């Protein structure tokens, strides 16, 4: 049986696929994505429902692997910046910790991070890098300039959100002293918010991390 490139198969249709050497694999929320070095080419397999398998060259198999997995991560992420399917970035919580995933002109990567803040800082840095590089959007140069500015603003927004959370943490850490010394009004004035908002910060309903539950 000769396999056709770029055609989608059921994995059971490809002889000896299970015996082919696995050269790349990653599981995301219960679905395994892998590339196997088969006699007829490099097979990208998604063990979804239903499972699919596609034969490529090695370069194209790795591109398909990254695009499919990163798009899935972005679709599930709480933090996501997307211009189109080829240019996007996201932070999501996997089974083993935080990941930052990105696609730039259709090529991308996934990186692991120790905590929520580190993953978001990595995303902001990546968006800035994407904004500085060429952006192949299929549109005019003027639109590409808009995309670049959009990505830069998104990076700034992420850093601003992180700074707001740090401010909230500082307010909550100072709460016992502030309330003991009856300085809530002074704090509210300094922060340019009203007293009720300060109490919402104390109670953890404002200026907090918006983290999803671990899968």
pLDDT digits (tens, 9 = 90+) for 42-85: 999 999 999 999 999 999 999 999 999 999 999 999 899 999 99
In this prediction, residue 71 carries a pLDDT of: 95
Please tell me the predicted confidence (pLDDT) of residue 82: 95
Tally of CB atoms within 10 A around 192: 7
Say how many residues make up the chain. 215
Average pLDDT over residues 203-210: 91
**CA atoms of 73 and 91, how far apart (whole Å):** 8
For residue 215, is pLDDT > 60? no
Instruction: Please report the pLDDT score of residue 200 as a whole number.
Output: 97
Task: Tell me what the mean pLDDT of segment 99-120 comes to.
Answer: 94
* pLDDT reading at 139 higher than 90: no
Q: Which two tokens stand for residue 103?
A: 């696609």
- Percent of the chain topping pLDDT 70: 97
| CA quadruple 61, 64, 68, 73: dihedral sign | positive
96-to-37, 118, 165, 172 alpha-carbon distances in Å: 27, 15, 23, 29
Q: β-strands 21-28, 79-84: how paired?
A: unpaired
| Partners of residue 33 on adjacent β-strands | 26, 46
pLDDT interval class at 1 (50, 70, 90): low
Q: Output the average pLDDT for the chain.
A: 92
Would you state the pLDDT for residue 34? 97
| Cα–Cα distance list, 78 to 13, 73, 98, 207, 211 (Å) | 37, 10, 12, 16, 8
Residues 6+ apart with CB under 8 A from 9: 3, 52, 53, 54, 55
Mean pLDDT of 152-157: 97
Q: Which is it for strands 8-9 and 97-104: parallel, antiparallel or unpaired?
A: unpaired
Please give the residue that has the higher pLDDT: either 168 or 2.
168
% the chain with pLDDT above 90: 83
How far apart CA 28 and CA 111 sit, in angstroms, is 13
Average pLDDT on 27-49 reads: 94
The count of other CB atoms within 10 Å of the CB of residue 55 is 21
How far apart (Å, rounded) are the C-alpha atoms in residues 158 and 172?
A: 21
Band the pLDDT of 137: cuts 50, 70, 90. confident
């Amino acid at each position: 049986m000769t396999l056709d490139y770029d055609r989608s198969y059921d994995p059971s249709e490809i002889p000896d696929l299970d015996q082919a050497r696995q050269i790349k694999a990653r599981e995301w929320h219960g679905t395994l994505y892998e590339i196997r070095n088969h006699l007829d080419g490099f097979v990208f397999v998604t063990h979804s429902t239903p499972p699919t398998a596609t034969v490529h060259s090695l370069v194209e198999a790795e591109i398909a692997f990254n695009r499919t997995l990163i798009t899935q991560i972005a679709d599930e992420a709480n933090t996501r910046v997307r211009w189109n399917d080829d240019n996007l970035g996201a932070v999501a919580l996997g089974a083993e910790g935080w990941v930052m995933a990105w696609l730039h002109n259709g090529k991308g990567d996934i990186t692991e991070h120790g905590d929520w803040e580190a993953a978001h800082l990595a995303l902001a840095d990546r968006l800035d890098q994407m904004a500085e590089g060429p952006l192949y959007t299929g549109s005019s140069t003027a639109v590409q300039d808009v995309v670049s500015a959009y990505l830069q603003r998104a990076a700034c927004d992420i850093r601003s959100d992180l700074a707001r959370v740090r401010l909230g943490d500082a307010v909550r850490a100072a709460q016992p002293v502030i309330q003991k010394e009856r300085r809530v009004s002074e704090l509210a004035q300094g922060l340019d918010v009203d007293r009720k908002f300060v109490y919402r910060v104390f109670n953890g309903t404002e200026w907090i991390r918006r983290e999803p539950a671990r899968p």
